[in-house]
């Protein structure tokens, strides 16, 4: 958005640095905390409109769920043989989106990548909300959701335990662990900033609430030292989870023997796919947010450039997976595997396979160009395409494998119903309501980490404060 004309001060984009020139410790804190501490009655109209829209979608979601619980999952288009449809497609899609946050916070922290600082907070929040959206699907996709607690290993009078060989059971642990650690990591990272807000807020209620959640943070050296240890430990814990969650989700398919599901490459292929669409979602969210809140100085074109490169790399892994599938359908000499590919290429749902190739393989190739990587409208379009493409990937894996499996006599088709769509679109309501609340009441950029970055990147004068800030 090189030449975008703002009503407020004109914006100049920064292409080669993670911070726009002229950022000081003071300006960073003010910029970020002002967004949050803005008086509640003077909330920007844009935010309010967004919140109302998201709230309406949330109502649609709740209505769909209520119908689902009272009438039965027959309101969806699923059948025998396509017994999983939008429910599991959207589950895997949302959980994939929830991958970028932890990757950015944990793995990039361990690799000491400075560029993560401006975006990690929002990405982590996005992760948590996406995992929440995802986690609901396995709970509601069951025929008798009121019995979902049977998934949990608890000592019951029946003496029954879950069946631990089932990948769905592994999901229970994978998702709950991932959600717990992600929330914890996110909250620990928030503590110093909540303390800043506590100190800067003028409202008594805000002071009390921020005070409560900042856990008595005073910025003492001991606090910083403990913070450093804790965040390092949590990063260490999260790192394997980033890889394990989607690996385990992929087991839902690869452990089954269905052609199109029974594929050994699924774990890495799913993780790469998750990173791919997770970053795409971060970009989709960041582009409007930085513009609305004028954060061009903190989230620069360099950030987008780096994220695009990550997308490109993970996209190439995913593309490799697509070619791999075609190869082993031939190499396996199995007529069932072979037919699967024929059906993807030419069957009744071939359009969705080619849509997947278009959105996930062809369109993202524009990211090879640095110029296009730093062109925000193009980047926004590409990221949206990747999100759509990754949705199609799950559709192709689930629907196209199920609708024509071993016995042609049971082949059938799958058509999503109104409730399939309303449950999907409605889940965006949940996501955006949570996300809008987050950007309104919690600093969406880690203040202390950006300050640390400012401190490290600006030429130092004599007043050298004590080192040992977090991050870096």
Partner 1 sequence: MSKETLDNQSTSGRGYWRSLDDLAQSSEFQARLEREFPSEAAELRDPVTRRSFIKLMGASMALSTLAGCQFAIKQPQEVIVPYIRQPEEVIPGRPLYYATSMNVQGYGIGLLAESHEGRPTKVEGNPDHAASLGSSDAWIQASVLTMYDPDRSQQVLKAGVAATWADASTALAAAAASAGAGIRILSEPNASPTLAAAITALTTKYAGAKWIQYDPISNDNAIDGAAAALGAATNVVYAFNQAEVVVALDSDFTHSGPTAIRYSRDFSAKRRITSAKPTMSRLYAAEPTPSHTGTMADHRIAVRAADVAALTDAIAAGVGVSGITAPTLDAKASAWVTAAVSDLKANAGKSIVITGETQSAAQHALVLAINNALGNFGKTVTFTAPVAPATTGNAGLKALVDEMNAGAVSLLVISDANIIYNAPGDIDVKSALAKVATVIHHGIYADESSEGAAWHINGAHYLESWSDSRAFDGTAAIQQPLIAPLYDGKTLIEVVAALSGQTNSTGHDMVKAYWKSVLSTDGYAFDKEWQISLHDGLIKNTVAVATTASLTGAVTATATAASEGLEIVFRADSSLRDGSAANNGWLQEVPKPITKLVWDNTAQVSPATAKTLGVASGDVVSLTFQGRSVKAPVWIVPGQADNTVVVHLGFGRTKAGKVGDGVGFNAYTLRGSDNLWHGAGLEVTKTTETYKLATTQEHTSMEGRDEDIYPTKTLADFLHPVAHEGHKKHEVISLFPEYDYSKGYQWGMQIDLNACNGCNACVVACQAENNIPVVGKEQVFLGREMHWIRIDTYFSGDAESPSVYQIPVACMQCEHAPCEIVCPVAATVHDDEGLNVMVYNRCVGTKYCSNNCPYKVRRFNFFQYVDEETPSLKLQRNPDVTVRVRGVMEKCNYCVQRINEARIDADREDRQIADGQVVSACQQACPSQAIVFGNINDAASRVSQLKALESKFTMLDPLNTKPRTSYMIKLSNPNPEFSGKTE
Q: What is the closest distance, in whole angstroms, from the C-beta atom of residue 63 to partner 1 in the complex?
A: 19
Assign residue 333 a region (left: φ > 0; alpha: ψ between -120 and 50; beta: otherwise): left
Q: How many CB atoms lie within 10 A of CB 25?
A: 16
Three-state secondary structure call for residue 267: helix
Q: Of 253 and 428, which CB lies nearer to partner 1 in the complex structure?
A: 253
Report the C-alpha gap between 275 and 268 in whole angstroms.
11
Q: What is the closest distance, in whole angstroms, from the C-beta atom of residue 387 to partner 1 in the complex?
A: 25
Q: Of 168 and 317, which CB lies nearer to partner 1 in the complex structure?
A: 168
Structure tokens that stand for 295 in this block: 């954060």
Alpha carbon distance, N-terminus to C-terminus of the chain: 29
Report the C-alpha gap between 308 and 374 in whole angstroms.
9
- State which H helix or E strand residue 68 sits in: helix 45-71
Report the C-alpha gap between 415 and 418 in whole angstroms.
10
Q: What is the closest distance, in whole angstroms, from the C-beta atom of residue 94 to partner 1 in the complex?
A: 18
Q: What is the closest distance, in whole angstroms, from the C-beta atom of residue 57 to partner 1 in the complex?
A: 26
Q: What is the closest distance, in whole angstroms, from the C-beta atom of residue 159 to partner 1 in the complex?
A: 11
Q: Of 59 and 412, which CB lies nearer to partner 1 in the complex structure?
A: 412
Q: Of 170 and 431, which CB lies nearer to partner 1 in the complex structure?
A: 170
Question: CA 403 → CA 83, 351, 412, distances in Å?
Answer: 9, 15, 5
Q: What is the closest distance, in whole angstroms, from the C-beta atom of residue 65 to partner 1 in the complex?
A: 15
Which residues bind to partner 1, rule: CB under 8 A? Answer: 71-74, 77-84, 141-145, 147-148, 150-151, 160-163, 165-169, 172, 252, 255-258, 334-336, 339, 402, 404-413, 415
Q: Of 124 and 171, which CB lies nearer to partner 1 in the complex structure?
A: 171
Q: Of 139 and 437, which CB lies nearer to partner 1 in the complex structure?
A: 139
Closest to 108 in 3D by CA, of 189, 177, 22, 25: 189
């Amino acid at each position: 958005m090189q030449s975008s004309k703002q009503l407020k001060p004109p914006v100049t984009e920064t292409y080669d640095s993670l911070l726009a020139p002229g950022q000081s410790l003071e300006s960073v804190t003010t910029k970020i905390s002002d967004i949050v501490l803005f008086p509640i009655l003077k909330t920007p109209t844009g935010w309010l409109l967004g919140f109302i829209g998201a709230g309406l979608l949330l109502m649609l979601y709740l209505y769909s769920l209520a119908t689902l619980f009272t009438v039965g999952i027959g309101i969806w288009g699923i059948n025998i043989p396509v017994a999983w449809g939008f429910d599991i497609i959207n589950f895997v899609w949302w959980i994939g989106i929830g991958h970028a946050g932890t990757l950015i916070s944990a793995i990039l922290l361990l690799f000491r990548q400075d560029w993560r600082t401006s975006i990690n907070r929002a990405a982590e929040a996005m992760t948590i909300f996406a995992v929440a959206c995802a986690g609901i699907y396995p709970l509601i996709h069951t025929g008798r959701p009121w019995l979902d607690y049977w998934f949990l290993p608890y000592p019951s009078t029946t003496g029954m335990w879950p069946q631990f060989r089932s990948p769905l059971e592994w999901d229970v642990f994978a998702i709950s662990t991932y959600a717990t650690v992600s929330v914890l990591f996110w909250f620990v990272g928030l503590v110093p900033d909540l303390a800043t807000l506590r100190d800067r807020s003028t409202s008594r209620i805000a002071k009390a609430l921020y005070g409560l959640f900042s856990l008595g943070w005073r910025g003492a050296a001991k606090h910083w030292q403990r913070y450093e240890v804790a965040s390092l430990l949590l990063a260490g814990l999260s790192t394997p989870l980033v890889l394990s969650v989607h690996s385990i989700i992929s087991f839902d398919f690869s452990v089954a023997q269905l052609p199109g599901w029974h594929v050994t490459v699924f774990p890495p292929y799913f993780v790469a796919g998750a990173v791919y669409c997770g970053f795409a979602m971060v970009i989709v969210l960041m582009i409007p947010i930085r513009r609305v809140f004028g954060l061009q100085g903190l989230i620069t074109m360099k950030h987008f450039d780096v994220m695009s490169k990550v997308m490109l790399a993970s996209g190439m892994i995913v593309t490799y997976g697509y070619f791999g599938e075609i190869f082993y359908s031939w190499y396996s000499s199995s007529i069932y595997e072979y037919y699967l590919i024929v059906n993807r290429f030419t069957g009744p749902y071939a359009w969705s396979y080619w849509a997947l190739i278009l959105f996930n393989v062809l369109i993202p190739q524009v990211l090879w160009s640095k110029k296009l990587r730093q062109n925000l409208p193009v980047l926004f379009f590409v990221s949206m395409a990747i999100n759509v493409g990754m949705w199609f990937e799950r559709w192709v894996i689930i629907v196209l494998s199920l609708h024509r499996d071993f016995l042609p006599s049971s082949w059938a088709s799958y058509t999503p119903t109104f409730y399939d769509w309303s449950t999907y679109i409605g889940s965006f309501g949940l996501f955006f309501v949570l996300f809008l609340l987050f950007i309104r009441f919690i600093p969406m950029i880690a203040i202390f980490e950006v300050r640390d970055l400012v401190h490290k990147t600006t030429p130092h004068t004599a007043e050298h404060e004590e080192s040992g800030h977090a991050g870096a």
